[in-house]
């Protein structure tokens, strides 16, 4: 159970502003906002399931949610066909302020 991690794209469409705000705040705790309603998160399976469970408590059946797991190859190729700065990686493990 070495914790393998992957990048995930998380996109949603939420019909009610109250639920939208809750979900938005929750997702901010897990990853980075790319655009409104699109987040990217670096998650292990354990964290993904935790996030899905927490989202499930907020969303109702009329809302849409999709999680897309990006393989290592997908992420590696991303800079080739995107504007620079679209997907910056910072894997230092620490931050000095």
Partner 1 sequence: MSTTNLDQRTSINLTEDTIRVSALHAFAYCPRLFYLEEVEELYTQDSAVFAGRRLHEEIDKQEDEEWLDLYLEDEILGLRGRVDALRTREGQTIPYEHKRGRCHRDENKQPQAWDSDKLQILAYCCLLEASLGITVIEGRIRYHADNVLIHVPVDDQGRQWVSDTIKQARELRKSAYRPPVVNNEYLCSRCSLSPVCLPEEARLAHNKEWHPVRLFPQDDEREVIHVLEPGTRIGRTGEQLKISRRNEADEKVSIQQVSQVVLHSFSQISTQALHFLSYKDVGIHFVSGGGRYVGSLDTRNGSIQRRIRQYEALTKSDFCLELARKLVKCRGEGQRKFLMRGKRNIKRKSPDLEKAIAQMKAVLKQVPQVESLESLLGFEGNLAALYFGALPNILGKDVSDSLGFAGRNRRPPKDRFNAMLSFGYSLLIKDVMNAILTVGLEPALGFYHQPRTQAPPLALDLMEIFRVPLVDMIVVTSINRQQWDTETDFDVRGQQVWLSDSGRRKFINLYEQRKAESWKHPVTGYSLTYRRLLELEVRLLEKEWCGEGGLFGQLIVR
CB closer to partner 1 out of 80 and 96: 96
Instruction: Extract the annotated binding site for Mg(2+).
Output: 13
Q: Which candidate, 71, 46, 20, places its Cα nearest to that of 11?
A: 20
Please, what is the minimum distance in Å from the beta carbon of residue 81 to partner 1?
27
CB closer to partner 1 out of 46 and 76: 46
CB closer to partner 1 out of 11 and 44: 44
Binding interface with partner 1 (CB under 8 A) = 1-3, 5, 25-26, 28-32, 42, 44-50, 52-53, 56-57, 60-61, 91-97
In the block, residue with structure tokens 């990048």: 7
Distance CA 37, CA 5 (A): 22
Please, what is the minimum distance in Å from the beta carbon of residue 13 to partner 1?
18
Instruction: Extract the annotated binding site.
Output: 13
Largest CA distance in the chain: 43
Residues 6 or more apart whose CB falls under 8 angstroms from that of 40 comprise: 7, 8, 9, 10, 31, 32, 34, 87
């Amino acid at each position: 159970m070495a914790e393998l991690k992957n990048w995930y794209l998380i996109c949603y469409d939420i019909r009610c502003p109250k639920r939208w705000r809750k979900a938005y705040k929750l997702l901010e705790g897990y990853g980075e906002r790319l655009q409104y309603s699109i987040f990217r998160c670096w998650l292990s399976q354990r964290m993904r399931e935790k996030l899905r469970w927490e989202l499930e408590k907020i969303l109702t059946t009329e809302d849409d949610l999709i999680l897309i797991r990006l393989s290592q190859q997908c992420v590696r190729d991303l800079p080739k066909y995107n504007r620079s700065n679209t997907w910056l990686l910072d894997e230092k493990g620490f931050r000095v302020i």
